[in-house]
Structure 1
Amino acid sequence: MFKRTPTSRPVERQDSAEHRHGTAAVEFAICLPVIALMFMGSIEAASMIFLKEALTVSSYEGARTAAKYDSETDDVVAKVEAMLELRNVSGAVITISPAEVSSAERGDQITVTVSIPCNANSLVPLQFFNDQLITVQSIMVRE
């Protein structure tokens, strides 16, 4: 087998502890911005998912209101705005087709579209979704 000679042991460096602290500092300096960017990006992505869900709910509630036989356009807009206000969403553009809900006859489709710019509702200042527009549409049949 192998015989171990006194010279086959590795020579230990006396400054290895200092060398390791320097390596850790360099690794930290390189990895911290990447980790921070990933963290802020995931917060922003979750915020945009919440924003889209808020638009979906408000558009659906508006379409439900519009589908009722005695509803008016002002009722639909008020319902959508109330749902968005509950979720602290600002800057929404609400489009209803036909424009006058009361003129729609039974069996007609009523479309409620809610659009919002991501800039106005971003949580992270880096603006990952800069100049993006989220649009949600709900269609229901008039009662």
Structure 2
Amino acid sequence: MFSCFNRNSKPQAAKSFRSQLRKPNRKGTSTVECALCLVVLIPIIFGTLESCAGYLVKQSLSVCAYESVRAGVGRGTTNADILTRTSQILEFRNVSLGEASTTEFAEPGDEYGIFLITRDGLAVEDLDALDPITVRIVAPSDENATPVFKHLLNRKIEASATMVREFDKPIGNITVD
């Protein structure tokens, strides 16, 4: 009979006010949020990809230098053995040295290439036991990375490894096969 005394009924003014509090007017908010987040996320994603590509080339050069010098420290090895091993690994890992040759060592004034550093510039076969051999590889970043923001362009990526020459002759009564 009297609706104001009915426990189940609610005043109309209070109901409409509460429904307005529960459903805020957010038309277009998600579009703006998406636009703002994409502006931040896209450079982070592509920057990460660019950095990883540069690190991959650096790691490839490090592995190549290590394996190349390892091929050259054994008994009876020559400069050609080092070059052959270096060329194989660079080709396998798709690393380019630009215009530098992979069939001969670079000269000291060259910008890119494979550098062999030995005592007094001697050939590997002329070195004595325990003489250090260093292989240094320098590659351009332009041809090896996939730069998105051109951050890695016009840079040198280089790696080197040094080991000592192994003994050519047996020592004392010990024979090495």
User: Which of the five TM-score ranges fits, normalised by the shorter chain?
Assistant: 0.7 to 0.9
Rounded to whole Å, the distance in 1 between the matches of 2:78 and 2:42 is 49
Paired residue type of 1:37: P
The aligned residue for residue 93 of structure 1 is 113
| CA drift at 1:79 | 0.6
The aligned residue for residue 145 of structure 2 is 122
The aligned residue for residue 23 of structure 1 is 29
| CA drift at 1:38 | 0.9
How big is each residue's C-alpha offset from its partner over 1:19-75, in whole Å with a ceiling of 9 and x where there is no partner?
x24222222222213211111111112222221111111101111111112111122
Cα separation, partners in 2 of 1:130 and 1:124, compared to 1, 3 Å = closer
Identity %: 27
| CA drift at 1:109 | 0.3
TM norm structure 2: 0.67
| CA drift at 1:10 | 6.1
Rounded to whole Å, the distance in 2 between the matches of 1:116 and 1:141 is 24
Rounded to whole Å, the distance in 1 between the matches of 2:20 and 2:157 is 61
- Who wins on radius of gyration, i.e. which is larger? 2
Rounded to whole Å, the distance in 2 between the matches of 1:112 and 1:67 is 11
Native 8 Å contact 1:69 1:106 kept in 2: no
Q: Which structure is higher in helix share?
A: 1
| CA drift at 1:11 | 7.9
Pick aligned residue for 2:79 from 56, 73, 80: 73
Native 8 Å contact 2:46 2:148 kept in 1: no
Q: Report matched runs for 1:9-20 at 5 Å.
A: 9=17, 12=20, 16=25, 20=26
Structure 2's unaligned 5+ residue stretches are 1-10, 98-111, 167-177
Cα separation, partners in 2 of 1:10 and 1:72, compared to 1, 3 Å = same
1:132 pairs with 2:138: no
Paired residue type of 1:130: L
Q: Report matched runs for 1:41-52 at 5 Å.
A: 41-52=47-58
Structure 1's unaligned 5+ residue stretches are none
| CA drift at 1:140 | 0.6
Paired residue type of 2:165: R
CA RMSD of aligned residues (A): 2.5
